[in-house]
Structures are given as structure tokens and as C-alpha cells.
Amino acid sequence: MRNVLRIVRLLVAADPWAMARGAALSVVVLVMGAALLGLSGWFITATGLAGLAGIGIAFDVFRPSAGVRFLALGRAAARYGERLLTHDATLRALAALRVVLLRGYARMNAKGLMGLRGEGALTRIVSDVDALDGLVLRLVLPILSALVTHLMVFLVLGWLVGWSVALIILVGYVPAAVLILLILARRTILPSAEAEHAGQRLRRGIIDMTRDREALILAAQLPRQANRLQEIDDQARAAMARLDRAERDAGFFFSILVASVAMGAFATGAYLLDTDSVGPPKAVIGLFVALALAEAVLPLRRGVAELGRMVAAAGRVAPQIGTQAQPLDNTHDDDGPLLSLKRAGLELDLSAGEAIVLTGPSGVGKSTLLMQIAGLDQDDGILIKGMRPGLWPEQALRDVLAVLPQRSCLISGSVRDNLSLSGTFDDDALWTALEVAALADDIRARGGLDARLGEAGSGLSGGQARRMALARILLKKPQILLLDEPTEGLDDHTQELVMGRLRNALPDALIVAAMHRGADHPIFDQSIRLVR
């Protein structure tokens, strides 16, 4: 539950005043509902007795009826305002949660970030955020509103009717309602989590089957995959059935509770009437107020029934929203080496304008070293202008260096959209970057900068996609350029064009490249072979 409380604090802190106003209006709605039913019961009883006594014409019906209309209209207006404020505040809170969550994921190392590119991870993240939207709307605000309303009703009823009636309603509702909700939570926390897990597996499975349909057909595995999805769907339905059964049982016990408390308030009012402590109209107020307070406890079933889903989601989300500690001293030495590498078997001080290539067998750690320099992995022994990459402010570090990983990241959109992810550039700058990447002729043939690319840049070959990502990096003009297999998928002629133009485009940049082929290119001042 610690993770749940952490998420709740984050959601409330996103717009505390709107949350407070929404909570206040929630209490107003419940209090007005109880007052409306209590006044109506008093009014009906008083007018009936006045008619029986033959003094109906002298009975003032205008002020009570005006009070009934005021409470009815006021309750409707308060309900509208409460829904407006709480839903608006919740949407703002979820937007803030998404931003904080994405910032948390952005601080992951390179391996963790690569793991987020699959549809399974994206589906899980979206589903977790959706699950957490009920924390405030269906749990926190309703519970707080119910408790405050019961306390206020207790005080007013004690003053107006009698403390015995008020105590019957308070003691009858609160402990019993808490017990029912605890039992409901215990029964639903596991099936709720199971239903959510099965639902996510089902969505991922459908995506996989749709994407790989042709391969499954050729391998005669489509029926088997469909049967597996049917089994997952059956598991989800079974968990939902258990969840619904527990919620219906809780509703049944709540109905008994409401009837019992109402009868207790009625019997206590009758006793007070018999002892001449109150008159008949006041004696029935407790009955009607007890019936009205059912509105405060019955909606809690839904939120508690989804608690398992919320707890599981909070457990996955909370570790990613921790605040990043800022260094006490984030100054750096502009007079020192631009990049310093000091580790076992490797000591280098590199300056602007140099270019080195890292070679070695696969798995020796070339890509890992580049990610460490980029601040995307443990960076001991690495200094950029005298400071470790992990201690740099994120934006400042990204302004200094750029990295081209082995997997290119493109989006569905135009060529211009893909090149402008890092900023706004004029057409001349975009074409210059494409020329350096030896991609300008290909883009002109496709229709120019406004030519559309499919999802993940589909429509381009692997080599073209890498050169598109390289052109995007060149537009930033970084001081340190990290390249991981930049010539993979390129023929020898294109490789020569790209590497030759690269140095001309960034004459003052420090270039660090990890390569298997092309390591003997004259652009490089030295070659460093990494060993295990």
C-alpha cells in the first residue's frame, strides 16, 4: 500500500485546490441529500398530522417546501460542480503522472530503454495509468466524503433529534461498512489483479497474432495461437466473474446494513417519541437520513473491488517516479579534456576535432561504452568536461553530445517531422543534413521533405533509416558525436560518402565510433581495440 499512497500524493499534488474544492462539493452533495430526505420526511409527517388534527389550513407549508426545492436544486448544482472539478483535476493529475512516469523511464539505462520499445511494454504502461485514474475518483474522495458526511450528520442529528439516534446511525454505518469493504477488498484483490494481468496478455497476444498472421498461417500455427488466446480470455472472464460475485455479495450486505440502520433509527425515534422527548415529525428524521446516507457508502464498492488492479499498477509505476537527485555541484571544467576515459586497460583524454574508432569482437563492450559516455549506463571512469555524465543536467548533457545507436528510431510522419524531432530547422538546413548523410537524392525521389513515412519509418530500407537518424543528429551540431555501427547496411561507396562528409559537416566535433567494418577510414585519428 506504500506505493498506492505515493501515487495518491502525486495525483493530489498535481492540482490540490481543485481536488479540495471537488472534495468539499462531494460532502455538500451528500449532506444536502441527507438534509433533503430528512426535511422531506419531517414535512410529510408534519403535514399529515396537521391534516388529521384539522389544523392543516394553519400549517405553514411554504417555508418547508421552499427548503425542499432549495436542497433539491442545490444538490443537483453541487453534483454538477463536483463532477466537473474532480474529473478535471483527475485528468490534470493523470497528465502530470504521465510526465513524471516518462521522465522516470527516460532515466533508465540503455538496456531498459530498448526494452520499452515493444508493444507489450507500451500496453502495460497505458493500462497501468488507466488503472490508477480510479484512485482519487473511486477511493480517496468517496471515502473522505463519506467519513466527513457521517460526522456532520452525527453532530446535526444529535443537536436536532437526539444523540441516541445520531449514535445509532454513526455506529451502525461506519464500523459495519468498514468491515464489509475490508472483506470485499480481501476477496477481490487477487481476482482483480488476475483479470488485469489476463487482459494485458490478451491484448498483447492479439497484437502479436495480427502482426505475425502471415507467418502463423505459413507455419500452420494460427489455430493454436487462437486457442491460446481463447484460454487467456477464459481466464480473464473467470477472474471477472469472481470479482462480480464478490461485489454483488457486498451489495447484498450493504442493503441489509442500510435496512438495519434505518430500522434502528426508526425504533430509537419511536422510543424518544414514546418518552415525549421529541415530537412525531422529528422522530422520523433519523429514518429518512439513514436511508439517504446509503448514497455515501454504496459507491465505495466499485473502487474497493478494483483495488487489486490499482495496487498492482502502483507497484509497477511507483519505482519509476522517484525524483532524480540533483548534484550539489554541477559545474564542469571547460578548460579540461572534452572527454576523459579512465578504466582498466583504457586511458584517454580526447579533445574537440579528434575522431577515434572502437574495435573488437562482438560482446566486448563497445556499445556499452558508448551508452556509458551518453549517460545511459553506469559511467564510472568517464568524465565530460571534468564531470561524470550521470551528474550533468539532462538537457545540458543532450546539448553537448548525441548518440546514434544500432537501432534507428523513426516515427510515422513526414521526412520533415522525423528530422525536426530535436528542434525547428529551415529547409536549407534539412537538405544540408540529408546531403551529408547521402540521402538527399533518395528523399527527392520520394517526393521531398513532405513525403510520408510509415510506422517506425517503414518505406525506407535499413541503411536509409540509419542515415535518416544520422541526418537528424547532424542538425544538432553536437560537440561529442557517438556512433554505433554507423555504416551497417551501407555499400562501400555510400560508406565512403557518409564518413567523408561527416567530418566536413562537424569539423570541431569529437567523434567516437564503434565499428566492425570501415575502422580503417582516414577520418579516424586512432583505433582502440577493446579486449575482454
Task: Show the domains of the chain with their CATH numbers.
Answer: 2-320 (1.20.1560.10), 339-529 (3.40.50.300)
Q: What is the pLDDT of residues 175-207, one digit of tens each?
A: 999 999 999 999 998 888 888 888 888 888 888
Q: What percent of the chain has pLDDT over 70?
A: 92
Nearest to 145 by CA among 365, 299, 358: 299
Say what the pLDDT of residue 57 is: 60
- Least confident segment among 96-110, 235-249, 261-275, 381-395: 96-110
| Grid cell for residue 144 | 473522505
Q: SS3 for 209-268, per residue?
A: HHHCHHHHHHCCCHHHHHHHHHHHHHHHHHHHHHHHHHHHHHHHHHHHHHHHHHHHHHHH
Is 256 a residue whose pLDDT tops 80?
A: yes
Say what the pLDDT of residue 54 is: 63
Exposure string of 43-82, with b = 16+ CB inside 10 Å and e = fewer, is bebbbeebeeeeeeeeeeeeebeebbeebeeebeebbebb
Rounded CA gap, 459 and 132, in Å? 38
Is 326 a residue whose pLDDT tops 70?
A: no
Q: Tell me the mean pLDDT in the region 374-385.
A: 81
Say what the pLDDT of residue 126 is: 80
With 0.75 as the threshold, say if the pTM is over it.
no
Contact by Cβ (8 Å): 141, 26: yes
The whole-angstrom distance between residue 43's C-alpha and the CA centroid of its chain comes to 49
Say what the pLDDT of residue 119 is: 63
- Least confident segment among 159-168, 300-309, 394-403, 448-457: 448-457
Is 433 a residue whose pLDDT tops 60?
A: yes
Say what the pLDDT of residue 174 is: 92
| Grid cell for residue 398 | 543532450
Q: Tell me the mean pLDDT in the region 448-454.
A: 85
Position 333 confidence tier, pLDDT thresholds 50, 70, 90: low
Say what the pLDDT of residue 44 is: 85
Task: Report, in angstroms and rounded to the nearest whole number, the Rg of the chain calculated over CA atoms.
Answer: 34
* Site of grid cell 551501407: 490
Say what the pLDDT of residue 53 is: 64
Say what the pLDDT of residue 371 is: 85
